Amino acid sequence: MEILFKALEEEFDNMVDFRRDMHMYPELSHHEEKTPEKIAQFYKDLGLEDVRTKVGGRGVVATLEGGKPGKTVALRADFDALPIQDAKDVEYKSKIDGVMHACGHDVHTSTLLHVAKVLLQNKDEVPGKVVFLHQFAEEVIPGGAKFMIEDGCLDGVDAVFGAHVISTMPFGKVGALPGAFMASGDTFEITIQGKGGHAGMPQHNKDPLTVATTLFQSLQTIVSRDTDPLNSGVVSVTTFNTGQPNFNVIPDKVELKGTVRTLDDETRDNAEERIKQLTKGIADAYGMSADINYTRGYPVVVNDDDETVRILEVQRQVMGEENVIDIKPQTSMEDFGYYLQERPGSFFIVGGALEDKADVYPHHHPNFDVDERAMINIGKLFIATVFDYNGEEQ
């Protein structure tokens, strides 16, 4: 195992180069063209023959057959970027206006590619098969995982694992959580139809703002009064649009948009039902109508208990007991949950905070960046997991 770890460390400069190239040329979800081409070409240059492209649309799946008998383990990395203007003052700043890797997907991709390279160079020692899943469109519902699964990316796979670098988590620290780890993510769009007119003569109108503001406040009671206090839930209205810039005109309609995050199906079902009930009830009370479009997004990321115990033990062995920290469920969403609905596995996190705290920014921020050494830590954990799953000593 140490030989493989050393080989991975020797790839660090190459890992950085590939990551920074991706960072400079990001591509948005469902618009990834050159990125999957580069990924596929990387595998072809390695001499790996079993490489599928356009999996589920834009995904890439490569399979390595080791020299020892064993089971099949899948490792996943995402590769889409976000519609954010890169504000960092670094040489690898995004060259694509309004698009940047602000969530670490470039880190994930480069890591997985070089893990594959090291395993291929030592394939006689590798047990079973390793499937490298390179996924598109993680950032946008309905995501890419669902379509890749439908296209057979998990066929023959016994277990699936993934990791996410965390820019605000100290470098060198790692963590994993059995059970519900990351929230489901739903969206809602509500259009309240009134009757606009002169703001000085409201008696002739039906002001949709009265419904919208009452609804805005009422939606907050879904979590505070309709949800078990021991369960987690978030209902956030993020867009409130009248389309009316004039001070003396009552708008004809108001649009609200928002998101719902939950960690269990009961809370999720209740939130959807109550949003619909409150919207209709309040609109009816004011003599107006309302249309609601509720879209179910990613499922809860539910880590398999046994496989997460495995990951935690691997983390202790590779990183040291003192560097494995306790983590809590998160209300961010991830479509890795789709993989875990199909196969046992676990999704874990790895610290990537920069040394200077002044340079530490959260994910989806214009100044987002990470300590690139986190790629080595993720890579080692991936390699160790492949061996541990097949009963090989580390």
Residue 105 annotated as binding? yes
The crossing angle, in degrees rounded to 10, of helices 105-121 and 374-389 is 50
Cα–Cα distance, 281 to 252 (Å, whole number): 19
108 is in an annotated binding site: no
Query: Which class for 326: exposed (0-12), middle (13-18), buried (19 or more C-beta within 10 A)?
Result: exposed
Q: Is 138 assigned a catalytic role? A: yes
Residue 139 assigned as binding residue: yes
Bridge-partner residues for 185, per DSSP? Answer: 261, 298
Selecting among 11, 32, 78, 80, the annotated active-site residue is 80
CA separation for the pair 258, 151 (Å, rounded)? 31
Is 80 a known active-site residue? yes
Residue 385's Cβ-count burial label (10 Å; 0-12, 13-18, 19+) is: buried
CA–CA separation, 165 and 23 (whole Å): 15
153: annotated binding-site residue? no
* Active-site hit among 78, 86, 138, 307: 138
Contacts for 1-4: CB closer than 8 Å, 24+ residues apart = 1/383, 1/384, 1/387, 1/393, 1/394, 3/122, 4/118, 4/119, 4/122, 4/125, 4/383
Which residues define the annotated binding site for Mn(2+)?
Answer: 103, 105, 139, 164, 364
Residues carrying an active site annotation: 80, 138
